[in-house]
């Protein structure tokens, strides 16, 4: 049995959660005040994911970088892999909000999507 400590992010209470794990199975969640705490804890210990937001360089743009996000959650432990892959990525202006800038980042099956616009340099 392994015990994991988490802080719930559901509300300002920030309950300290204790999750008892048997291998990959959640045995119990304690320390939560409401149901949201248990749902959060179960997801966080079995399949923690995050949306990553960052910027990539723009070639020939009116702005030097354009903001972007992963189109869906990616596994938490892949965040740095993804940032590494994006470090040298350059996209050509113009970029429209919603454009896919890179397909299938690091084999996650998730695309990189532009969240702002970059007009071409006039």
Partner 1 sequence: MKQYDLVIVGGGPAGLAAAVAARDAGIRDILIIERDGRLGGILNQCIHNGFGLHTFQEELTGPEYAHRFIEQVQERGIEYKLNTMVMEIRKDKTVVAMNGDEGMFVIQAKAVILAMGCRERSRGALNLPGYRPAGIYSAGTAQRLVNMEGQMPGKRVVILGSGDIGLIMARRMTLEGAKVEVVAELMPYSGGLKRNIVQCLEDFHIPLKLSHTVVKIEGRKRVEAVTIAKVGPDRRPIPGTEERYECDTLLLSCGLIPENELSKGAGVELSGITGGPVVNDALETSVEGIFACGNVLHVHDLVDFVSGEAAKAGEYAARYIQKGDKREGRSILLRPMEGVRYTVPTFIRPQEMPEEVTVRFRVADVYRDCAVVTYAGDRQISRRRKKILAPGEMEQVVLKKEDLMEEGIEDITIRIEREA
Residue 72 as a binder of partner 1 (CB under 8 A): the answer is no
CB nearer partner 1, residue 2 or residue 9: 9
Q: Is 22 or 77 the residue whose CB approaches partner 1 more closely?
A: 77
d(CA 16, CA 5): 7
| Cα–Cα distance list, 100 to 17, 39, 73, 97 (Å) | 38, 32, 16, 9
**List 97, 100, 103, 109, residue binding partner 1 (CB under 8 A):** 97
| Window of 24-32, 60-68, 104-112 that interacts with partner 1 by CB under 8 A | 60-68
Cα distance between residue 99 and residue 70, in whole Å: 12
Residues facing residue 100 across a β-bridge? 113
- Point out which span in 3-11, 22-30, 104-112 binds partner 1 (CB under 8 A): 3-11
The tokens describing 25, both together, are 């199975």
Give the count of beta carbons closer than 10 Å to the beta carbon of residue 37. 24
Q: Which residues bind partner 1 (CB under 8 A)?
A: 7-14, 33, 50-55, 57, 63-65, 67, 69, 76, 79-80, 83, 87, 97, 115-116
């Amino acid at each position: 049995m392994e015990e994991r400590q988490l802080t719930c992010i559901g509300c300002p209470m920030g309950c300290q959660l204790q999750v008892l794990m048997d291998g990959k199975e959640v045995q119990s969640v304690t320390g939560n005040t409401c149901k949201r705490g248990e749902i959060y804890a179960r997801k966080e210990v079995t399949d923690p994911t995050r949306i990553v937001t960052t910027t990539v360089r723009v070639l020939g743009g009116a702005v030097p970088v354009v903001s972007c996000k992963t189109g869906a959650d990616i596994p938490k432990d892949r965040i740095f892999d993804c940032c590494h892959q994006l470090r040298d990525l350059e996209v050509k202006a113009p970029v429209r909000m919603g454009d896919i800038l890179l397909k299938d980042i690091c084999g996650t099956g998730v695309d990189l999507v532009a969240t702002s616009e970059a007009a071409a340099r006039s």
